[in-house]
Structures are given as C-alpha cells and as structure tokens.
Structure 1
Amino acid sequence: MPRFSVIVPAYKVQAYLHESLHSVLRQSFTDLELIAVDDCSPDASGEVIDEVAAADPRVRAVHLTENVGLGRARNAGIEHATGDYLIFLDADDTLTPGALAAVADRLKETGSPDVLLYDYARTYWTGEAVRNQHAAQLTEEGDAPFQLTDRPGLLKLLMVVWNKACRREFIEREGFRFPPGYYEDTPWTYPVLMAAETIATLDRVCVHYRQRRQGNILGTTSRKHFDVFDQYDRVFAFLDARPELDRWRPVLFRRMVDHYANVFGNRDRLPRRSRPEFLRRARAQYRRYHVPGPRGRPRNQVRQGLVRFGAHRTYRALRLARTAARRLDAAARSVRRAVRARLLRLHYLVQLRLPVRAGRAVFSAYGGRGYGCNPGAVEEKLRELAPHIRTAWIADPAHHHTVPTGTRRITPGSAAYWTALARSKYLVTNADFDPRLRKRRSQVFVQTQAGTPLKHMGLDLQERPAAARGTDFGALLARVDTWDYVLSANRHSTLVWERVFPGAYTTLEYGAPRNDRFQRASSQDVARIRESLGIPKGSVAILYAPTHRDYLRAQHRPLDLERLLRALGPRFTVLTRAHHVYGAPLTDSDTARLVDVSDHPSVESLCLASDVLVTDYSSLMFDYANLDRPIVVHTDDREVYEAARGTYFDVREFPPGAVARGEEELIDIFATGHWRGSRSAQLRAAFRDRFCGHDDGRAAERVVRHVFLGQGAGLPSVVPLADRRPVPAAPAGEQVPEQYQGEAAPRPHEHT
C-alpha cells in the first residue's frame, strides 16, 4: 500500500500534462502511485498518459469511455486508489520539488490527521509566482492536529481539493464523492473540513497553480456557471443531515453569497442574456438559506445587497460610480506626481548653481538596496580615517535600517537625494545613480563595481541580446564618461573594465574593499554569525549562491536541496541565497537544516558563517576564495549560459575547486569528501594566486587615502598571500566531522 495516491484527471491539457505528471514522478519521496485519468479527451492527453505509464510502473492509466467532467473523473481515480492518502492535482498544475516529502513528514509529525492543508502559488506565463494571500492561516504554531472549530480561519482559503491531502479511510467512511458540473470542489471541500475529526496544516508551497492565458474552464462564458446553485444546495443538504454542524451555517451562507457575487461580477462567465436569470436564482437561494449574522464591511454589504435584492441596475450603477472614483483618484495622483517631478527638477537645477560641498560624500549600492558591498566598506573606512567628511547613504526606506547610525539616510527621488547628487564632492556607487545626474567638474565619481567579472559585461553584451535586454550602449558610455575612478580587485578585472567600459577614468587596482572583512574577522565573529543563523555546532554549512540567468524570467532552480541534504546526512546545513534580482527564495522548504538567507543584508557574513561555497558563475567565488575555504562549482547549464551570456574563461578549465556537472555529481563530491580534498586545495591555491593578490584586508584604506585624502604615495603595501591569515571556518572547539577525517580531510593551512 503506497503512502500517497496522486489523482490527476486530464481533459484537453496535452500541452501541460507531461510537466504535471513528471512533477509527481520526480519527487524525492517515491512511495506513491500516480493515477492519471483520461476523461475521454479529444487531444493527445490519453496518449501522453500511456507513454508515461509505460515508462514508470507507479503510473496507472485510466481511460474513460465518455467525457464525465472533472469531478466524476476524480471519482474514477478514487475507485482505483490504494494509498493511505489521496492527493489531487489538476493536469495543468505541478507539484513543487520536495512537496511530497514535506507532506509525508508533516503527516508523521501530526499523527496522520484526516486532512492536511498546504499552500500554493499562482504561476503566470511571465514566470511570476505569487503565493496565496491567506497563507498566514496555514501557520504551524499551536496544537496539531485540531478541528475546524479551533481554526475557522481556514475557511478563508481557496476552497479547492488540490491543496489538501485527505486520508483515504476517512473519505471512504464518510462516502465523499465529487458531484457533476462546474464548481465541483465546493460540495467536497466544505463537508470534508467540517466532518474531519483531525486537521493539520503545512506552511509550505506544494502546488504551482498555473494561470493559463486561455482555456481555463471557469474563465469561459457558459450557462454551466449556473451549476454553482446546485453545488451549494448539496452543501446545505449535508448540513441538514448533520445537525451537530449547524454552527457553520452563518459562515457558509456568507461564503455562498460572496461566491454568487463573484460569479456575477466576472463578466466573462455568464452569457449576457442570462445575467438577470442568475440574479433571480441567487435571490431565491439567499432567501432559502438566509441566516442572520454580522453585516461585514461596506463592500461586502453591497455584494450581499446585490444577491438579496437582485438589484442588478443599482449594483451596476454603484460599480460604475466606484470605477469613476478610482479613475478620478488615479488622475489626481498622476497630476500630483507630475507636479512633484517638475518641482524636484527645478530644485535640482537650483542646487546645481550652488557651491559643491568639499566635506560631503554620498554612497549607494545596487540602485538603492541596502548598505553594503564595496561602497559600504569604503564608507565605513572613510568615517574612520576622515571623520571631517560627512557621509550619506541612498537607500529605499525598506533598507534604511541597514545604514549605520553615523551616516545620513537618503530616500531616492527625494529633495535631499537631488541635493546630495548636486552638491556632494564625492559620489560612490557600484551601479548607477539617476540617469539625469549632471556630474560637475569639481565632483569626484568613484565606480567601485560589484565583483570580479566572469560573465560578459558592458560593451561585450552588444552581441548578447538575451543578456543586454535593450541596453542603450550610447547612454552606457555617457555614464562611463562621468567616472573618475574605477576600483579593481585584480589584473583580470582591470583588463576587462578598461575594454568593456572604455573611458578616461583612472583604475585603482587596490583590491575589493568588501573583502577586507575576511582578513579582519575573528573566530568569535564567525561563531556569533553562525549562532544567529541557527547553524548547529559541528555542522558543515554549505552556502549555495547561484547567479541569475538573463535568458530566464523565472529563477533557475537546478538543485533539489532537500534531496541533497537527505543524501549528505544530518551533519550538513545548507544556507540558500537567491540572487538579488529575484524576489523569491530558491526553496519553499521549512526544513530546519535548509535556511533561506536571501534577505540577509550581508553576503560577507554568510561567507564567514559557511564552511564551503557552492555556486555556478557568480562573482562571489572570487571573493570567497580569499577565505581559503573549499568552493564547488555546479555548472548544469554551461552550454546554454555560455550562448546566452558568455564568460571570460571556462570556469571548468580553471576552477576554484571541484566541479559538478549535475546534481548526482554534486552529491558524490560531498559524499566522498573531494570537496575539501587535496586536489580541491591545489585548484583553490592557483585560483587565489590569480585573483586574490590585492585582497589583503586594506583595500578600503588604500582607496580612502588615495581618493579622499589625496595620499597618492606611501599607501599601505599589499600583504603577500603566503603571509595572510583569513579567519577559520569554524570557532575553536568544533571538530571536523568523522567522515571527513583521513585522506579527504583538508590540508592544515585550509583553516588558518
């Protein structure tokens, strides 16, 4: 008997069915059966099911002789199910990686409840994924399992069947089956939740709910939408047969009214001539099932009035009035924005006529994100060595808390922003300021860059349209002409910057200021950071930090990180960090040993906390090499990445450590200890020799003394690599895990 019976009904979904079925079969949790039901589909869906079934014995193909609709197709799947739990998945949706393992773990933790609810995210053709807005209802805090009376807020969730795992014995005992018609989930999900004696929740996105541009059943115009009345008749008939559940009538009544208003308010669903009839039916249902209760918010009162009185024309007039009000408000906001923009522009022009302030410096990183990177390291050293120069940091308000208290915080686009750009002597950034910036002759612009370049940059993107994405190269060169200094960490960077950003600036090959911290940090600092991140003592912390893919809108997710952790065992912890261009983490897991650090303000702190870096083409590998800790390169899409973005050298030919071309190789590298073996150390030594020559912990000091204090001569000399002592990977007292002692253990100098 398998743990899960995953039931996937299919009708006219041939374009999506392969992806849906494989999202189940490729789960790391394999104790399952997949029941794919061909609802007499006129396209190739049945053939796809047969192909998949022939390749995997866990798949059972069920072919119906006539089209019976989604609900009864699911019933056919239930009749063939033998698993402990029933999981339903629509054939155009997918399970997220590791979803079934998370569901299985949560079921075990909560004592095999009747129903487990988990979360979903809507996915769009653009690649955007938006999590359910009521996800807070799925919190795992408090007692579990429980009954619906303990957590009535669960009824706010979308009433669908595919966000639940239902114990098959419970379903069979209660005799639950899907009715025919549209909205078949309604008379299933409400009764299931009300009848369940034990319920649990899983606060994890397990389903990607595809938002199709066309072809969605509920988005079609049809009288079939009148089925919603029959479905609620079935819900209230269930209550009539269960007097002990009468407490739920007011809630279900309000949900019914809201549902009717939604169907009516969506103008794509009902044929125009049937709309008055729909309201008459809705009004009859309102009177039949009406239960006194709270009136709710004004918007809900209007919707209830529509259903209660059938006031179609009044409702339409109110909607038109609200639409007109919104448009007037939008127009007023547009006028206010235009006036504000003109006033700010005038303010900037006035500031440009006032004297430049020699004792002022303004900084920014990544276009207004937070305090950090090379500009942050320079700003910190400037306050130490030149306290007479007042500093300001430009950041969005959400990142103001990252800015040190001794530094003025400035919001982009504000009057203070334009004043700072117009009158500060020094302008320092790793990206760009506003393109309308007019650099004055007496101002000094320092472009720090954001790392050593591996992927193509600047003018080299002219032949890479997928990466350039409409870049105006003329405007790019105009910005380059404002630069006075460009920071470089090594000779490779110097040669690249001067070719792809040609200009009259001076290159300062002083090292990367943000890497100074690696030479200054102590073992106590490492211990403190690890503790703040929840890394257990003795655990091997892997920092997984891939770069973004210019040719993909969605985030590249090549690794099943939960599977990786299961393969490596309990001594490993993974810190996963998504590239800053993405808004979503690399994983939705809540596994304790899989920590999402995408929002952590300091990547340098994450490097210090980790024992090894796993990356692909990210410039972080050049910084991390300064720590003299193992690096593993994972290049599963080398050919595609090279074609789309291009690199300055093949990292597989000159790597900083072991190279994995896929997930299995990566697991093998860690399982055998090669990630920290002698060959890895040899590769890292050559890599450090080529790219880390100037990162001795005093790069920011050299920049400040040269640019801000005018000390062109007598700058701190560079400490040779052999004489540097980067902070150890783990605080004193922690031992190397037993499986890595012996031949695969690191060389003595790796942690010195």
Structure 2
Amino acid sequence: MDITTKIKRSKLLYYVYYYVMSGLVNLYKLFLKPDGKLMLFVCYGGRHYSDSTRVIYEAMLKDERFKDYIIYWAFKNPEKYPFIPNTVNVNSLKYFNIALRARVWVTNVIVERALNFKGINTYYMHTTHGVLCKLDGKDAIDSANFRTLSTFKWDCCFASSDIEKYVYAGMFGIPIGKMHVIGMPKNDILVHYTEDYRSELRKRIGIPEGKKAILYAPTFREEANFKEVFDVDVNLWKQNLGDDYVLLYRAHPVISSDTKQNNDFFIDVTNYEVVEDIMIASDLLVSDYSGIIFDYCIMDKPIFLWPYDYDKYNAIRGLYFDIRKELLYKEDQGELTKVIKEADFKKVVEEYVIPFKNKYETEYGNATSKALDLIYNNIQ
C-alpha cells in the first residue's frame, strides 16, 4: 500500500497531512513571486490527459490570445506524455512552485492535492467532470472514504443546466455567480463529430463490422477503497447478446483497474484516454450512477441503467435523486441483456433519453470557446 492510499484511508494521517502540509505550502508561498504568463493544468489529480482540461488546452494552443503563455501539465507519471512540452510531477516540490506562481489553474477535480492553499494571483477554473447523480463535495463528507477538509476556492465552475448550477453551487459551497451554464468543453465533440470520424474510431477500438457496441461504464464504489468492482457475468452477456453486439468495458478513471483479456465479444477500453471517443464509437450505454450518463444523452443514443446495488450505494455514498425514475433500468443483468436485445431503440430514446437530456443537459456544443473567453477576460 503506497503512502497516498494510507493517507486516504486514515482519518488521523489525513488530518496530519492536511494541517502540516497546508502550513508549509502557504509559508513557502511567502517567498515566491507570481508569474503572469504561467498556467497549470491538472486532470483527475494527475492520472490522465483527458476530459475538459485536455480540450481547453488543445484549443488554447491554437488561440493567438495565449501564444505568450507557458502552460504546464501535472502528472503522476510525466514520462507517459512526451508529446506535451512542459510537464511536472504532481507530487514534486516543483509542482507546488508552479502552482503557487501560476496565473491560471484549470482542472476537472482539484489542484491543491487535498490541501488548503491557492496561488498568489491565480484564476482558478474548475470544469467539473460529471457528479450530478451522486453526492459530492460538502454533501458527501460523511460518506465512506470521502474525506476532505479543503474549501473549494474556484473562481468559476461549469454546469450544463440550471439544475446542475444550483446542485454544484451547493455541493461545493461556492457563490451562484461563479457558476457558468455553458456546458462541458469535453462534450462539444459529441455534437460536432462526423460519421467518418466515428467509423475511424470503431476501427481503432476494434469493433467488428456489422456489430453494435455496448459501452458499459460504471462509477466506482466507495467501500472498495478505489479498487475495481467488476460484477459483469461476461459469459451471460455474450450468450444473450453475442450474435449482434460487442461489449466495451470502461472502468472509472479514479480506480485501480486490472486490464481484462479481450476476445471476440469483450473489449477493455479502460486505458483509452479519451472517453468521448469511446462514447462516439459505441451504439448504446449501460451505466449506474456515473456522470457519463449526462454526457452520453447529448448524442440521443439509447441508455440503460444497471443499478444492481442501488440501496447499498445510496446508503454508503448517497444520491441526489432516484435515477431509476428517469431512465430504463433492470437490476438483474440477465433481464437487462434481454431488454437490450428486444428493445426498440428509437422508442427508448424518445421516451427516456430525450426528456432526460431536456431536463439535465440544456447547454452543450460550444463550451470550449466560452471557457477560453472566460479565462482571457479574467486575466487581463
């Protein structure tokens, strides 16, 4: 067990870490000067180069307004990303040096490493990444394995609807005026992709010609301590759906997942960085309480729920609403596969997915340019 896991699991260790390290970082800040041309990007705590952070970064590289800025990406394993000019180890002293001096932070989770500090003159953009269904932030402090003393110091936070705006403002304890209902930059591609691009992705992923692809993307379980819970009976799914479908499995990005052996029915796409590509390549989604549901509905493709542990999950983590009342679901995976096999997809989309989208995803398609405008207008 590494030190990070030990701190996450121990209330005492976390409190010691939080107060001691926060004090040291804020003391160190007194000896630094801000850099008005420095930016820092962090995605899922340094685990990935993906999500809205990636989309904003790649658009920023093409935007003349930001040509004079030095942009750093922080990773747990920077050597995995040789194509990015400026990287830093998220657990290094250099990371804190850059973070404290940077004019802009962009992240989909947090930059502070679960501590209490902010840069000397930093504009802090939080893109969010999809947490609406399950409790998070201040609302989830009492749930298993969710421990933070941090306050959320964001200068702006994104939402895709007024419902999300008020939920996020409450869960993170930030003023409603800092919420911007512009959608998520990562989702712009879900509106603008071409069929040629989709065909290219399906070949790249290995989806056989003539087969429909089911994307199974569950959230993580608190009680599993950030380890994988894989309850799929692959043989059962193959027996019921194998003639016409393949199953794409995507583990949640914050957990430790063992790569599964691919075969003619099952394809593990967990290590494919850009989940939006997998969403585009797939034909339907199966999930539970994951934020991916809210992104996926933008494409007007079928969505099915498999909330097999609803009562347990709700007791441990907590949910804002009963998502089973919103979308078509089955708790037994045998029944679920039969429903998928027999379903009229057009009817599923019309009766469930589109009303869901109209309720929870009212803004989408042009978030990236709006995010860049927000950054530029607030750092001048």
**Is the structural similarity TM-score above 0.5?**
yes
**Aligned partners of 2:238 and 2:353: how far apart in 1?**
25
Task: Point out which structure has higher relative CO (alpha carbons under 8 A, 6+ apart).
Answer: 2
Please state how far the C-alpha of 1:661 moved relative to its aligned partner: 1.7
**Aligned partners of 2:206 and 2:119: how far apart in 1?**
48
Give unpaired runs (5+ residues) of structure 2: 1-20
In the alignment, does 2:121 pair up with 1:442? yes
**Aligned partners of 2:305 and 2:333: how far apart in 1?**
11
Please state how far the C-alpha of 1:611 moved relative to its aligned partner: 0.6
**Aligned partners of 1:581 and 1:706: how far apart in 2?**
28
- Aligned partner of 1:394 among 74, 97, 101: 74
Deviations 1:9-28 (A, max 9, x none): xxxxxxxxxxxxxxxxxxxx
In the alignment, does 2:59 pair up with 1:381? yes
- Quote the residue 1:453 is aligned against: 132
Provide the aligned C-alpha RMSD in A.
Answer: 2.6
Q: Is the 8 A contact 1:452 1:493 kept in 2?
A: no
Q: Is the 8 A contact 2:215 2:285 kept in 1?
A: yes
Deviations 1:592-632 (A, max 9, x none): 22011111111111111111111011100101111111111
- The one-letter code of the counterpart of 1:556 is V
Instruction: Give the match's secondary structure for 1:573.
Output: strand
Q: Counterparts in 2 of 1:70-469, with a 5 A limit?
A: 352-385=30-63, 386-397=66-77, 400-401=80-81, 404-405=83-84, 407-433=85-111, 434-436=113-115, 438-464=117-143, 466-468=144-146
- Quote the residue 1:301 is aligned against: none
Say how many residue pairs are matched. 354
Q: Is the 8 A contact 1:562 1:594 kept in 2?
A: no
Please state how far the C-alpha of 1:710 moved relative to its aligned partner: 4.3
Deviations 1:186-229 (A, max 9, x none): xxxxxxxxxxxxxxxxxxxxxxxxxxxxxxxxxxxxxxxxxxxx
Q: Is the 8 A contact 1:394 1:409 kept in 2?
A: yes
Deviations 1:436-488 (A, max 9, x none): 56324521111222214100112222443x253xx14xx222xx1x2211122
**Change in CA separation of 1:506 and 1:690 when aligned onto 2, cut-off 3 Å:** same
- Quote the residue 1:582 is aligned against: 255
- The one-letter code of the counterpart of 2:340 is F
Please state how far the C-alpha of 1:404 moved relative to its aligned partner: 4.8
- Quote the residue 2:18 is aligned against: none
**Aligned partners of 1:391 and 1:417: how far apart in 2?**
13
Instruction: Give the match's secondary structure for 2:238.
Output: helix
Deviations 1:134-175 (A, max 9, x none): xxxxxxxxxxxxxxxxxxxxxxxxxxxxxxxxxxxxxxxxxx
- Quote the residue 2:168 is aligned against: 497
Deviations 1:686-739 (A, max 9, x none): 01111221112x101101102223499xxxxxxxxxxxxxxxxxxxxxxxxxxx
**Change in CA separation of 1:520 and 1:399 when aligned onto 2, cut-off 3 Å:** farther
Give unpaired runs (5+ residues) of structure 1: 1-341, 713-752
In the alignment, does 2:353 pair up with 1:684? yes
In the alignment, does 2:375 pair up with 1:707? yes
- The one-letter code of the counterpart of 2:350 is A
Q: Is the 8 A contact 1:461 1:467 kept in 2?
A: no
Please state how far the C-alpha of 1:355 moved relative to its aligned partner: 3.2
Q: Counterparts in 2 of 1:451-600, with a 5 A limit?
A: 451-464=130-143, 466-468=144-146, 471-472=147-148, 475-477=149-151, 480=152, 482-504=153-175, 506-553=178-225, 555-585=228-258, 588-600=260-272
In the alignment, does 2:350 pair up with 1:670? no
**Aligned partners of 1:640 and 1:349: how far apart in 2?**
43
- Quote the residue 1:695 is aligned against: 364
**Change in CA separation of 1:593 and 1:372 when aligned onto 2, cut-off 3 Å:** same
**Change in CA separation of 1:351 and 1:687 when aligned onto 2, cut-off 3 Å:** same
Q: Is the 8 A contact 2:35 2:101 kept in 1?
A: yes
**Aligned partners of 1:612 and 1:545: how far apart in 2?**
11
**Aligned partners of 2:379 and 2:87: how far apart in 1?**
29
Q: Is the 8 A contact 2:102 2:121 kept in 1?
A: no
**Aligned partners of 1:483 and 1:448: how far apart in 2?**
10
**Aligned partners of 2:222 and 2:276: how far apart in 1?**
24
Q: Is the 8 A contact 1:395 1:412 kept in 2?
A: yes
Instruction: Give the match's secondary structure for 1:367.
Output: helix
**Aligned partners of 2:346 and 2:300: how far apart in 1?**
13
**Aligned partners of 1:512 and 1:542: how far apart in 2?**
23
**Change in CA separation of 1:356 and 1:462 when aligned onto 2, cut-off 3 Å:** closer
390-399 or 568-577, which deviates more: 390-399
Instruction: Give the match's secondary structure for 1:660.
Output: coil
Task: Name the % identity.
Answer: 24
**Change in CA separation of 1:705 and 1:536 when aligned onto 2, cut-off 3 Å:** same
Instruction: Give the match's secondary structure for 2:150.
Output: helix
Deviations 1:85-120 (A, max 9, x none): xxxxxxxxxxxxxxxxxxxxxxxxxxxxxxxxxxxx
**Aligned partners of 1:582 and 1:463: how far apart in 2?**
20
Instruction: Give the match's secondary structure for 1:652.
Output: helix
**Aligned partners of 1:646 and 1:350: how far apart in 2?**
38
Larger of the two Rg values belongs to structure: 1
**Aligned partners of 2:28 and 2:240: how far apart in 1?**
64
Please state how far the C-alpha of 1:499 moved relative to its aligned partner: 1.2
**Change in CA separation of 1:663 and 1:430 when aligned onto 2, cut-off 3 Å:** same
Q: Is the 8 A contact 1:543 1:610 kept in 2?
A: yes
Instruction: Give the match's secondary structure for 1:496.
Output: helix
Instruction: Give the match's secondary structure for 1:546.
Output: coil
